Structure formats: C-alpha cells, structure tokens
Amino acid sequence: MKSNNRKLKGMTLTELLVVLAIMGILILMAFPILAPLFQRAHATEAKLNLKHLADLQKVYFLEHTKYAGDFTELGFEQAVLSDTEGGTANYRIEILASSPQDFRATATAIRDFDGDGVFNVWEIDKGNVPREVVPD
C-alpha cells in the first residue's frame, strides 16, 4: 500500500491577514459613499409610515367628520421598534394634535443614524405631505 504524503497548497496566515486588511480598507473607503444611502432608506421608512397614518386619518375624517386622537381609533399599529428585542422600526410614530379641522403627527428617530447627536424628525398634517422638521 502506497502512502500519499503530498501537501495541500493553501494560504499562509500572513497572506490571509493581508487579504483581510485590504478588504477592511476597501470597506472603510466605501462607507462614506454608502452612508447617505442608508439615511435615505431610513427617511423613506418615516415618510411611508406617516403617509399611511395620514391616509387612515383621511378615511376616519370622512366617517366621523373629525380627526382621530389615537392609534386605536384609526386602527394604526406602531411596528416594534428596533431598540426592543426583535423590532425593525427605526422611528416612533406619534399623533401630537388632533381636532375636527386638522391633525399633526410625527415620526421621531429612536437612534442617531450618523452619530452627530441629532435625532431625525418628520412631520405630517392633513396636507398629506411629509416634511423633515429636524434633519439628521
């Protein structure tokens, strides 16, 4: 019986570390380019939630001739926030004011996306156009 003592070719630890270092540098170079894309994605989440809330308010107004003061009247359910276990939402949605003539709701970021100490805030009213009140 012949013994097969051939060595397999592979990478040394040094070569592997060099490859990982190069990949890390490339990722660090790409992050400033990709960061605005992440911020726009978060802003889209806020705008979509506020527009959905405004649509629900519009339907509620047509049925009751006033705007709703809380989520239970509207049937709106806040998604589980990402700072809690298993949550995915990055904005806390709140109805700040409602009257027979108007309502005002906000979406406030629960974390600082770019690390500058400012939390992003979006607002909507019966005009159904979300606007950024506090940019991040």
> What integer best gives the mean pLDDT of the chain?
89
pLDDT of residue 39: 81
Indicate the SS3 state at residue 40.
helix
Question: In the predicted model, is pLDDT for residue 104 greater than 70?
Answer: yes
More confident residue, 1 or 15: 15
> What pLDDT band is residue 14 in, cutting at 50, 70 and 90?
very high
Domain residue ranges of the chain, discontinuous segments joined by +: 43-134
> What pLDDT band is residue 1 in, cutting at 50, 70 and 90?
low
pLDDT digits (tens, 9 = 90+) for 54-71: 999 999 999 999 999 999
118 Cβ contact list (under 8 Å, min separation 6): 112, 134, 135, 136
Question: In the predicted model, is pLDDT for residue 44 greater than 90?
Answer: yes
CA–CA separation, 106 and 87 (whole Å) = 19
CA–CA separation, 71 and 79 (whole Å) = 12
Which residues face 103 on adjacent strands?
Answer: 98
pLDDT digits (tens, 9 = 90+) for 76-102: 999 899 888 788 899 999 999 999 999
Question: In the predicted model, is pLDDT for residue 36 greater than 80?
Answer: no
**pTM for this prediction:** 0.74
